[in-house]
């Protein structure tokens, strides 16, 4: 009973945040709603007993990724969205498509899946020790690969986001410090 109430409470916050993301026109408002969604999702994870995942959700997702988003929004100083001519296809074809798909899945879930399958509160305790055991034994390779992936992402981000002339200016400063050999030589000749 308590499980259900808590689930519905946090679920409502999730959905409200998601809908708000769609409804807001300024991206910073959408970013903040997304933070709300993530925090409530962390609460949902806790209800399922996934402590580590919940912690990671708050620290990494809400704490790092969303902060990065907000930094970028502020850096680019993006204002509220203007109304421009969008794509008709997206509205005409895409939205009904998504809605249809969603309705179908929902229908299937409600009518076809056995409703007596339930999840109890704190069903699967995912404490760090167990997670770590799996991570470093069975899933070692994916772990290492993803660490390389992060490295590449860092490099990529640095390269992509750097100013093109910043590199040249640094070179230029370097060059300016050196004397120019031709002029010196030329002066000698004359």
Partner 1 sequence: MVPLTHYLLLSGILFVCGVLGFLIKRNIITIFMSIELMLNGVNLSFVAFAAHWHALSGQIFVFFVMVVAAAEAAVGLAIIIAVYRTRETLNVDQVNLLKL
Partner 2 sequence: MTPNPYLWLIPVLPLAGAAINGFFGRQSSKRAISTVALSFCGAAFAMALWIALTFSSASAPYFLDLARWIRSGSFNVDFAFYLDQLSLVMLLVVTGVGFLIHIYSVGYMWDDDGYYRFMSYLNLFMFFMLTLVLAKNYLLMFIGWEGVGLASYLLIGFWFVKDSAASAGKKAFIVNRIGDFGFLIALFLIIKHFHSLDFTSVFQAVAPMAKETSGAGLLTAIGILLMVGAAGKSAQIPLYVWLPDAMEGPTPVSALIHAATMVTAGVYMVARSHVFFERAPMALMVVAIIGTLTALFAATIGIAQTDIKKVLAYSTVSQLGYMFMACGVAAFSAGVFHLMTHAFFKGLLFLAAGSVIHGVGGEQDMRKMGGLRVYMPWTFRTMTVATFAIAGFWPLAGFFSKDEILWKAYSSEYGSWVFWLLGVTTAFVTSFYMFRLWFMTFFGAYRGATARDGHGHNDHGHRHGHDELHESPWVMLGPLVVLAVLSVVGGWVGIGGRFEHFLAPVFQSGGAELAIEAADAASKTTEYLLMAASLVAAFLGFALSWTLYYLSPAVPARIAEGLGGLYRAVVNKYYVDELYALLFVKPVLDGSTEILWHGVDQGVIDATVDNSADSARHVSDNLRHMQSGNLRSYAGWVAAGGAIVIAYMIWMGVR
Binder among 75, 82, 86, 183 for partner 2 (CB under 8 A): 86
**CB of 189 vs partner 1, minimal distance in Å:** 46
110 interacts with partner 2 by CB under 8 A: no
68 interacts with partner 1 by CB under 8 A: yes
156 interacts with partner 2 by CB under 8 A: no
* Vertex 40 angle, CA 38 and 45, to 5°: 90
The item of partner 1, partner 2, none sharing an interface with residue 128, based on CB under 5 to 8 Å by kind, is none
Distance CA(144)–CA(139), nearest Å, equals 9
- Count Cβ atoms within 10 A of the Cβ of residue 63 and give its class: 0-12 exposed, 13-18 middle, 19 or more buried: middle
Distance CA(141)–CA(150), nearest Å, equals 14
112 interacts with partner 2 by CB under 8 A: yes
Binder among 79, 94, 128, 142 for partner 2 (CB under 8 A): 94
Q: The dihedral of CA 166, 167, 170, 175: what is its sign? A: negative
64 interacts with partner 1 by CB under 8 A: yes
- Under 8 Å between Cβ of 39 and 27: no
140 interacts with partner 1 by CB under 8 A: no
What residue ranges bind partner 2 (CB under 8 A)?
Answer: 86-98, 100-101, 104-105, 108, 112
């Amino acid at each position: 009973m308590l499980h259900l109430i808590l689930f519905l409470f946090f679920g409502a916050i999730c959905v409200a945040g998601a809908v708000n993301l769609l409804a807001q026109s300024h991206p910073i408002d959408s970013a903040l709603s997304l933070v709300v969604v993530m925090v409530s999702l962390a609460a949902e994870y806790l209800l399922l007993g996934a402590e580590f995942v919940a912690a990671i959700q708050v620290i990494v997702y809400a704490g790092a990724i969303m902060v990065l988003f907000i930094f970028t929004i502020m850096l680019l100083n993006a204002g509220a969205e203007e109304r421009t001519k969008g794509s008709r296809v997206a509205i005409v074809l895409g939205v009904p498509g998504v809605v249809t798909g969603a309705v179908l899945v929902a229908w299937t879930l409600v009518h076809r899946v056995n409703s007596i399958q339930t999840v109890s509160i704190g069903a699967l305790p995912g404490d760090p020790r167990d997670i770590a055991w799996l991570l470093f034994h069975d899933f070692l390779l994916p772990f290492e690969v993803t660490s390389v992936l992060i490295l590449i992402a860092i490099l990529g981000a640095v390269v992509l986001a750097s100013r093109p002339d910043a590199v040249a200016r640094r070179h230029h400063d370097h060059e300016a410090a050196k004397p120019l050999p031709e002029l010196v030589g030329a002066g000698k000749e004359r």
